[in-house]
A and B are shown apart, each in its own frame.
Chain A
Amino acid sequence: MLWLCVVSPVQEKHALKALASWAGQFSSCVCLDAERRLLWLEIGSSLRYFGGLDVLLKKVAAGLHALTLKATIGVAPTPEAAALLARQPQTLPVLQLDHLRQALAALPLNELAMLPAAIAGLQASGLTSVGELLALPRDALARRWGLQATDYLQRLLGERADPRKPYRAPQTYYRRFDFAEPVQTVEGLLFPLRRILYELQGYLRGRDAALQALNVAFRHHDHADTVLTLRTTDPQRDALRLFALLREKLERTQLPGAVTQIRLGVERFVALRDTQLHLWDESERHDASWSDLLDKLRARLGDQAVRRLGLRDDHRPEKAWCVESGAAAADLPPAFPDRPLWLLPPRPIERLPKLLGRPERIEAGWWNGEDSSRDYYIAQTAEGSRWWLYREAATARWFLQGIWA
């Protein structure tokens, strides 16, 4: 057996799984240790298929490069030795078990998969290299750091079997990508999209399959997702080809806002040479819930066309309500002040009708330069209707802002 270990620069579990799916193209036995960010490929059995170790290593390196991942790799007859080598800056592959001890001897202790306390303890005792550690009596080590330390060393050197559970790629493909910062431009989306498509390509190769349809959803901060469905007449699995198609589609789509997440899914696969056309089942439509309807209306009519009324927490009447197009309004305590139902944008008035009662004074807004100080009055017009007026303290001018029915 020969193991190739990849130290993944990405950490998120779903990204690691995507990487494992991608790696399926090189090996039928891929193992994953998400905690240690490690991926192992058993390559002993596929070396011949790929035409030798050099070719395979080149292909893996090129594949990682296409994914724009800076990953380091190590090759050794045991998984732990491969992992240890992969953690070093540059190492040569070790192909035979007999050579392992010698190849590891000069390496520092830091990257051994032992407890940090054990490594610190060894260093405090003056040990610096793996060779020095391997020279120590095993029972002395077990006495200090337990059987797990010696067990690890046995697995490292292949003195003890190290069975691992292979990673099974899922039957449907689903990949999520979260942006740290919302992305504003299409260019910003293309970069991760291309990477995801390369991952998909690896997965398809591993399954020896192709696709004819894939869904991409873009999540926005304050809008419904933008969903694109790509369909091809011929089964496809070439990343660059899929990328070109998707890019074209994307450039014709108007995104409503910045994108916070990309989700890509493939539900059905076809054999690559299977040219049978699969018609999309049009009847598979979701229930049109209210929000779906809104989404669709928005998608068709544009976002600004769909709005509703909401409440805002503010003393100032014109700021106490709003027209909103986004998500539901915040949960506000309902207050029912004695206010006219019909609010107008304030308009200056020249002739004052008769004022009733004492004023209500409202002052707010100093923080954003809209400081206002107003005395609101109820007034009775000659026609018998009741107006809601205010006097602006700064200018002493009068405005009409509301009418009672």
Chain B
Amino acid sequence: MSYAELLCASNFSFQRGASHPYELVERAKELGYAALAITDECSLAGIVRAHDAAKDAGVKLIIGSQFRFPAGERVVLLAPNHAAYTELCEFITQARRASKKGSYAISRKAFASALKHCIGLCMPAASIDEEVVCWFARLALARHYLAFTHGLAQDSERRLEILRKLGTASGLPLVAVGDVHYHQRERRPVHDVLTAIRLATTVDQIGRAAFPNGERHLRPLATLRKLYPRELLAATLDIALECSFSLDTLHYEYPEELVPAGVSALQHLRKLTLEGAARRWPAGVPVEVRAQIDKELALIAVLRYEHYFLTVEDVVRFARSKNILCQGRGSAANSAVCYCLGVTAVDPARVSMLFERFVSKERAEPPDIDIDFEHERREEVIQYVYNKYGRHRTALAATVICYRRRMAVRDVGKALGLSLEVVDALSQALQWFDGDAQLPEEFVKLGFDPRTRMARHLVALVKQIVGFPRHLSQHVGGFVISQHSLSTLVPVENAAMADRTVIQWDKNDLESLGLLKVDCLALGMLTAIRRALDLVSLFRGRTFKMEDIPDADPATYDMLCRGESVGVFQVESRAQMSMLPRLKPRCYYDLVIQVAIIRPGPIQGGMVHPYLRRRQGEEKVEYPSTALERVLKRTYGVPLFQEQVMEIAIVAAGFTPGEADMVRRSMAAWQRRGGLEQFRDKLLQGMLDRGYTPQFANQIYQQILGFGSYGFPESHAASFALLAYTSSWLRCHEPAAFVAGLLNSWPMGFYAPAQLVNDARRNGVSFRPVDVQTSDWYCTLEPDAAGVPVVRVGLCMITGLVQQEGRAIVMARAHGLFASVDDLAHRATLTRRSLDALARGGALNALAGHRRAAHWQAFGVERLPGALAGTSAQEPVLMLPQATEAEEIAADYAGLGLSLGRHPLALLRSRFDRLHVHRAADLAQLKSGRRVRVAGIVTHRQRPETASGVIFMSLEDETGISNLIVWPRIQTTQRAALFGARLIIVEGELQSASNVTHVIAEKIRDYTAWLGRLPTQSRDFH
């Protein structure tokens, strides 16, 4: 007799289940179970993964969930059909929504709700309460069973007797369940550790909260036959037979209200597309574009994606109507249809991309469009979506937060009874770049012996728990919208943010089931661009929009070729900056490549240098085959984009498009749990069979590995490149508006305000100080004597000033300038806090004379009640001494985050000269290979995963930025200065080639003390 397991928790019953869904499914298959139910606690979060694994393994999966009452009894609900599944989703949703994030609330009353299609199993508590069974028997369910687990416990046999009697009395049949918590016996320690974590105690203290033995695993049929009476096993099969529901039959409908009555969705989409085309090509739509549109619409019709495109169009239209800048990206975004709908500005004629490459018939893969919005206004879009479709039809996708090494070490260490200090030290010691081999070494450093039992347990348990789901969080912006209430499709629960709900499935789950989501993401650069454009419009007195920026501007590309890109979207990082002079972008498509090339995929695959050599004509452009020439022509025969690599798998290794897509999606999972070998063999063999060299095949394999987790597709790069170009053009031709736009949108990007301002000043932009008499809330442009725009620093830059009060100052000023600090305080009704912030930021300097006087006067503001307000006595003017230049600069940085005075290092220059320290700007003129000393404030520390442990540092002095390379050898000997110092002098070898200059650090000296009280900030390891 076979068996179906009907009560089984996966690790999506957080801190209770100790096996992944796929492990349970695969084990059930091995043991020859007739079916396996995954019944996580009030959750279907792991069910899609189980579903995928069950399909792969050919195991029958039953969908269910279990619910625990405080007294210990549990009710298991199984979904035999679609109606029951819908009931179950609604039931879980109610229980979850009635409680705070991460927990659920059930009551007996809740079970009175519609569950009449579900099969119910009653699992009484440790001491069996007859009353519970009676209550359960009266529930309106399709079927009722009393569940019995033979756990080889002391009371197992007696329990069976009692349940039998109760069954007879209440008329309920008994069914065998394993109450499974892990797939095999060996997971008992993991489960004990999870129990200890859940109860916030240690494993040697959990006592009888742990299971008495390891029997809660999937046991062999032979064992079960010995333990359970035959009719109890037979009952499992009866139930399994009745369960026919599969997630594959889920029917998902897109909201219909977007289509006006009387027309089909396709007709409507066609109408909108053609209207858009007429706007894009006022002189008439080119023939080939017309043909492309028809082709795309035909494909959309076949795949029935009309509603998806209409939804995206609707969101974008809303944003545009509110003057919110937005841009789509992703596989389907770069289509003629999306260009016409205004979703992207990537003219399909400009990019040699074909729509079919992104949406294809063979792959049943949903189109993927991410829409970026101005980060400060995305909330308006989200509220629009919620209001338009209603909260019950809209929810965010979930993100499953999994145990990473650091958290695993912390939790497991605590559960094993290690002291908090040791656990903290251990998890601190594990920098994010440490590999698997690191743990035992760290033990030795902390005085542990890796051979001890404790160490071995820790290592083994951490290894198993890493990757376990820990809790659900909300996706950054992936909305799922449906025609019907979402909770009939998938359980919905509360998110941490008020008024936000998330479904229990994540992005991969949705993809797996072919459900569509619209990603509404926040992008700071869009805010910055919109503000810069507004500033230009205002200053020039005519509307200036993104479309007005001319294409292919040589001066813009010249600037990028010099590696000047501070503030520019996507290419402002230090690695990008040193790539720019080598790649020398001259056109839009070069920027697409520039955006995509500094990524793990191309770097790990060793593609960067071959590409550069071929581009510069130093190497012959060759194609491995004529078939691949078509795929690789646009990148000189070197694969750089995710799409190219996938296409190689198809063209050169004989994968089907579906298989290739599967590879992309499964890569991360394979790297985690194995499965890569099979794929590798298939790829290499396929390529060898088609006559490619093993070397090339291996390169492609490496690159696919790199793309696994950090894939960067051309379709995204194409959209990003547009913003990179837009921001570059602004930086080149409207530098004042550009830097003001960035400052007004900060925090964003790679650089702190002080660095942005210093860079802009080096490029000739003038700034005027923040001043309550002239500054607006945001930075603005003012003309200088020659009519050139200069930046007036806005009140928004002042540390600690509330926006509301800042705006009150501007409003009050409309009635005339302020006569005194007192006058300002009264007319703008400022709090003491704000006055203090204004004084600190230097915004009262003009009014009071200087910063110290400003402080004195700000403190002197009296708040007299009622009629006395504003009548406070005049004080005699007090002569206070002015601060020194160094004090002023330090105060600027503290109160404003930037200074318009000299760079702090300019003040120290004479001291540096005595130490023979070079200026950053001088390095480019020096001979490569000579020894140099440079000094600077540390602005960045980075350790790319692709750079084998090298740390890149950036130093800023009054002339510019110098770049350091720190090899691991230096890192160990000079750790303190490297990681702790804010001002350093570095000695090392100068290396310069093709306009890129580095210093290979040899000696690093900490001179932080010379900064005095000057605050600085460095962006480390982001």
Which A residues are closer than 8 A to B by beta carbons?
Answer: 121, 124-127, 136-137, 140, 143-145, 312-315, 335, 337-338, 357-364, 366-369, 373, 375-376
Contacts and interface: CB of A to CB of B under 8 A. Distances in A.
A87 to B, nearest CB: 22
Nearest to B207: A313
Contacts of B212: 315, 360-364
A364 B210 CA distance: 9
A367 B875 contact: no
Name the residue among A127, A359, A361 with the largest chain B CB count within 10 angstroms: A361
B880 to A, nearest CB: 5
B860 A143 contact: yes
A369 B210 contact: no
Interface in B827-866: 839-840, 851-853, 855-856, 859-860, 862
B188 A367 contact: no
Interface string B1005-1020: 0000000000000000
Interface in B881-897: 881-883
A368 B204 contact: yes
B215 interface: yes
A160 B255 CA distance: 81
Contacts of A121: 855, 859
B683 interface: no
Contact of A373 (B213, B227, B416, B880): B213
A367 B839 contact: no
Interface in B246-273: none
A136 B878 CA distance: 9
B839 A124 contact: yes
Contact of A126 (B207, B416, B883): B883
Contacts of B152: 358-361, 375
A357 B154 contact: no
A363 B188 contact: yes
The 4 closest A-B pairs by CB, nearest first: A313-B207, A126-B852, A361-B152, A124-B855
A301 B207 CA distance: 34
Given A125-B852, A126-B881, A140-B860, A367 B208 contact: no
A351 to B, nearest CB: 25
B153 A360 contact: yes
A362 B859 CA distance: 73
B880 A126 contact: yes
B855 A367 contact: no
A66 to B, nearest CB: 36
Majority SS at the chain A contact face? mixed
Contacts of A368: 204, 453
A338 B859 contact: no
Contact of B210 (A315, A375, A376): A315
B157 interface: yes
B156 A367 contact: no
Contact of B214 (A127, A137, A363): A363
Nearest to A357: B157
Name the residue among B157, B188, B207 with the largest chain A CB count within 10 angstroms: B207
29 contacts: A125-B853, A125-B856, A126-B852, A136-B878, A137-B876, A137-B878, A140-B875, A143-B862, A143-B875, A145-B859, A313-B205, A313-B208, A314-B208, A315-B212, A337-B155, A338-B154, A357-B157, A358-B152, A358-B156, A359-B152, A360-B152, A360-B156, A363-B188, A363-B213, A363-B214, A366-B189, A366-B192, A368-B453, A375-B152
Contacts of A373: 213-214
Contacts of B157: 357-358
Contacts of A126: 852, 855-856, 880-883
A143 B876 CA distance: 13
Interface residues of B, number: 41
B457 interface: yes
Contact of A360 (B154, B417, B453, B875): B154
Interface in B196-236: 203-205, 207-208, 210, 212-215, 227
A124 B840 contact: yes
Given A140-B875, A361-B213, A363-B188, 4 more contacts: A144-B860, A314-B207, A315-B210, A357-B157
B154 A140 contact: no
Nearest to B862: A143
A364 B457 CA distance: 15
A396 B852 CA distance: 86
Contacts of A338: 154-155
A375 B215 CA distance: 12
B270 to A, nearest CB: 67
A312 B210 CA distance: 14
A124 B208 CA distance: 62
B880 A125 contact: yes
Contacts of A358: 152, 156-157, 227
Contacts of A136: 878
Nearest to A360: B154
Contacts of B214: 363, 373
A143 B859 CA distance: 8
A78 B859 CA distance: 29
Nearest to A144: B859
Contact of B154 (A337, A366, A369): A337
A369 B860 CA distance: 71
Contacts of A337: 154-155
Contacts of A361: 152-153, 212-213, 215
A312 B154 contact: no
Nearest to B226: A358
A16 B757 CA distance: 54
A360 B153 CA distance: 5
A315 B213 CA distance: 9
Contacts of B207: 312-315
Contacts of A124: 839-840, 851-852, 855
Contacts of B204: 367-368
A365 to B, nearest CB: 9
B852 A335 contact: no
A140 B213 contact: no
A351 B203 CA distance: 37
A247 to B, nearest CB: 35
Contacts of A312: 207
A341 to B, nearest CB: 15
Nearest to A374: B213
Name the residue among A125, A314, A338, A373 with the largest chain B CB count within 10 angstroms: A125
